[in-house]
Amino acid sequence: MILSPNIEIKTKRLTLKPVKDLYIDDILEHFTTEVTRYMPFDPQGNRQDIITFVNESKRTLAQNTDLVMVALDSDSSFTGCCGIHNITEESVELGLWLKKSSQGKGLGTEIITAIIEFLEKTFTFKYILYPVDEENIASRKIPEKLGFIPAKKYKKAKNHLIDLNIVEYRKYY
C-alpha cells in the first residue's frame, strides 16, 4: 500500500491523522520532560526541533517507510502522537505518546488496537514491534493486553547520562 497524507484512522473516541504543520504548537506544548520520561528524547522546548520532526515525518510518509500521526479527540483537540515506523516486509514498529491530561483513560490501548487493525488490513509483515522502557508499567500493559510477547531486552540512550532498559514486545503473524 502507498501511504497518503489523507489517511484517517478512526477509533471509538479519536481520529488519527498524519502529522502536519498545523500541530507544531500542540506538539511543542505537550511533548514535555514528564511525558517523555521513558522515551529516548529530552525535549528542550525548541520549536525548531518540532518543525524538524514534522518535516521528517512528512518526508518518511512520502517515502512510505513511516506513518506518524496525531490523535485528535471528538472536538479535534490534540491528544498525542503515534506512529508506524520502519515499515518493511519483515516488520513494523509502533510508537505512542499522549499528553499528560490524556493518560490513564485507555486511549493508548484504543490507539494501538486501531493501528494494528489498519496494519492487518493494509500490509503484509511477519511481526509488529512495540518497544517500551521496562519501568513504564502503564505503557507495558498495552502490548501485554493485546497479545504481544516480550522478545528481547536492550539498552537505548535517553541522553549522555541515562540509558533506558527497553523491552521489545512482538506480535507474530
C-alpha cell at 33: 520532560
60-115 confidence digits (pLDDT tens)? 999 999 999 999 999 999 999 999 999 999 999 999 999 999 999 999 999 999 99
- Residue 55 belongs to a domain with what CATH number? 3.40.630.30
With cell 536492550, the residue in question is 154
Is residue 100 included in any domain, yes or no?
yes
Query: Which helix H or strand E contains 172, and what residues bound it?
Result: strand 163-172
Say if CB 123 and CB 92 are below 8 A apart: yes
Is residue 121 included in any domain, yes or no?
yes
Considering just the CA atoms, what is the radius of gyration of the chain in Å?
15
Give the dihedral of Cα atoms 116, 121, 126, 130; nearest 10 deg.
-10
Is residue 79 included in any domain, yes or no?
yes
Is residue 160 included in any domain, yes or no?
no
pLDDT of residue 2: 84
Its pTM stands at 0.95
